Structure 1
Amino acid sequence: MDKNPEDQKIKPGVEDDDQSKKTKAAMAEASTIGWGRRWKTHIGQKTGFVEQTKLEPRFERNIEKLISYHNIIYKMVDAIELQVQIDPKILAQRRVSAPNGENEWGKLGGWLHYLAMSQFTEQPAKILDSYSRMCGKIGQKENQVQRRTRSHLIKRMRLYTGDDTEELNKCVDALQPLLTALDDTRRIMKSAKVSKDLVARGQAYQSMILAFNHKAGEIQGWIDEVTTVVTLHQNELIRFCREVAVYNDAVYNNLNETMLRLGYLPHKKDQK
């Protein structure tokens, strides 16, 4: 190949419109190459009469590492959201916060209040009502953490596992067909017998080179950004951990405060 794909670094979203259109056209052309032409190119490569273009090993390893990081973040985001929403049915609805009236702490508080009002009287009813109010406070705090998790705390991580991963997969999937088309157009160009055919086939070959380098350049842009992206994700993870720590402290403090108001003293070994 005339150009090393790693020499051309294009950040995702910052593309030349004209080259993008040419790349899409080349990808469409590559997808229409019939099995007969592919078979001729493949046999020629096996026998050594046709050159076979391969990705640079370091570039290929970097792609594998990038995809691996995307997969790690994808699993991490799911695990993070499970820290604040344990109901998988709600997460399956692409939500983190529970719908109105479905928060588990709120439901528990509602049942305790119902028992206090209809099933018990005097001191037992007061105890149940105290725990009911405690559950309400914890439920409000949990709703706050749940809302903030996806919208603020891990916003970039969630975006990275959504639109960015989808675009990356499209670029990676486009590389191999373009490589095959590149080898095929080069084989056809070399078989030209007249200058007119040579010029036309040479232009087709050149368009495949530019399209491949353009897609490879987009992927290289993601690879170059990994260092910055990792730092952003680390900061988001730290913010999330701090928020969850505050929430856990609030749960602990509300439980202790309610117990103390009711006259129950925590066991000494529980205070350690």
Structure 2
Amino acid sequence: MNESETSSSVGNDELEKRKKRGPVGERMGIVEQTRLAPEFVADIEKYYKYQEDVDKLVDRLEIVLQNNETILRLGNIECGEKADPYEIFAQNIDAFRSFHKENAQAPLIEVEAVVKRLAVMNREMQAKGRRSIRKMRRFVAQEQLAMINAQKKLMQARDAMDSARHELKQARTTEMVEEKGKFYARMVSEFDQQAARVAAFPEHLPNDKEEHQKELFDAYKIDRYHHWSDQYMMDIRSIMSRFDNIIAKKGLKKEDGEALFICSRMLRYV
């Protein structure tokens, strides 16, 4: 394809896009308002609908990675330093261990080690999960705002163009017609440029969808963490059973062991 054919193709594509952006339509007061083409409006609505769907999906994925909504509201997925539930639980086990004699501490040391491994795994899972859905998160945060701002600017450009056209129609002298005509042409150009910016969002949507599908596949791979988490919780139950036996033999309060075991079971749902 030579340069003239390429230029012609680009020109035809741009002409088609301009047709989609809209002809002159109804009047707003005394100024005739440019009506955006139905196809252009439909593309924008489809884009917003997809953004809404991705927003809901990201919410669900984030709550799997981090079920503390306070942290999510801050825009984070990982907890602060030493603030992960498993890290806190390991600290509590360490403190709890000091209340027991040395021969009863071995199971607690094992449990603490297991919980610390869970803490490391949880952080790794959250970090990998955050990276795996970063494009979807950016899509619903940054790009959504960019699209809204671009559409607002388009409406402002349309109003300026319509006003310039109205002033051109009101011109009565050759000098005024020339002056208003140049201004109107400039407003039309600015409107077309802004419309192209808005159109770029839905036009890029197929690529966005492909990237999001890849991220979704990567996010589902993180589910393997829960399998290992289950295995570790089984280890904790086994260790705590031995701890209960030690307590029973030594005549200590069995409720102490049960309390720790209950805490370990509750962590399954953290």
State the TM-score, normalized to the length of structure 2: 0.74
Q: 1:249 aligns with which of 215, 227, 231?
A: 227
1:43 corresponds in structure 2 to 29
Whether the 8 Å contact between 2:78 and 2:126 is mirrored in structure 1 is yes
1:94 corresponds in structure 2 to 75
1:6 corresponds in structure 2 to 17
1:207 corresponds in structure 2 to 186
| Cα offset, 1:6, TM superposition | 2.2
Which sections of structure 2, spanning at least 5 residues, go unmatched?
A: 1-13, 21-26, 243-270
What does 1:82-121 correspond to in 2, within 5 Å? 82-116=63-97, 118-121=98-101
Q: 2:170 aligns with which of 171, 191, 216?
A: 191
2:7 corresponds in structure 1 to none
Q: 2:212 aligns with which of 225, 229, 233?
A: 233
Q: Given residue 28 of structure 2, which amino acid in structure 1 is its aligned partner? A: H
For 1:204 and 1:4, the matched residues in 2 are separated by 21
Whether the 8 Å contact between 1:5 and 1:213 is mirrored in structure 2 is no
Q: Given residue 6 of structure 1, which amino acid in structure 2 is its aligned partner? A: K
Whether the 8 Å contact between 2:125 and 2:225 is mirrored in structure 1 is yes
Whether the 8 Å contact between 2:154 and 2:198 is mirrored in structure 1 is no
Q: Given residue 171 of structure 1, which amino acid in structure 2 is its aligned partner? A: A
For 2:236 and 2:212, the matched residues in 1 are separated by 37
The answer to which of 189-198 and 252-261 deviates more is 252-261
SS of structure 1 residue aligned to 2:35:
coil
SS of structure 2 residue aligned to 1:100:
coil
Which sections of structure 1, spanning at least 5 residues, go unmatched?
A: 10-40, 45-49, 265-272
The total of aligned residue pairs comes to 223
Q: 1:144 aligns with which of 116, 119, 124?
A: 124
| Cα offset, 1:57, TM superposition | 0.9
1:57 corresponds in structure 2 to 38
Whether the 8 Å contact between 1:105 and 1:139 is mirrored in structure 2 is yes
Q: Given residue 230 of structure 1, which amino acid in structure 2 is its aligned partner? A: K
What is the aligned-residue RMSD (CA, Å)? 2.4
Whether the 8 Å contact between 2:107 and 2:240 is mirrored in structure 1 is yes
For 2:204 and 2:39, the matched residues in 1 are separated by 17
Q: Given residue 202 of structure 1, which amino acid in structure 2 is its aligned partner? A: G
For 2:168 and 2:43, the matched residues in 1 are separated by 32
The answer to which of 84-93 and 118-127 deviates more is 118-127
1:179 corresponds in structure 2 to 158
SS of structure 2 residue aligned to 1:221:
helix
SS of structure 2 residue aligned to 1:241:
helix
Whose radius of gyration is greater, 1 or 2? 2
SS of structure 1 residue aligned to 2:105:
helix
Is structure 2 residue 57 aligned with structure 1 residue 79? no
SS of structure 2 residue aligned to 1:52:
strand
For 1:248 and 1:77, the matched residues in 2 are separated by 19
State the TM-score, normalized to the length of structure 1: 0.74
1:22 corresponds in structure 2 to none
The answer to which of 246-255 and 82-91 deviates more is 82-91
Is structure 2 residue 202 aligned with structure 1 residue 223? yes
Q: Given residue 157 of structure 1, which amino acid in structure 2 is its aligned partner? A: M
| Cα offset, 1:166, TM superposition | 2.2
State the identity %: 19
Bigger RCO (CA 8 Å, 6+ sep) = 1
| Cα offset, 1:119, TM superposition | 2.0
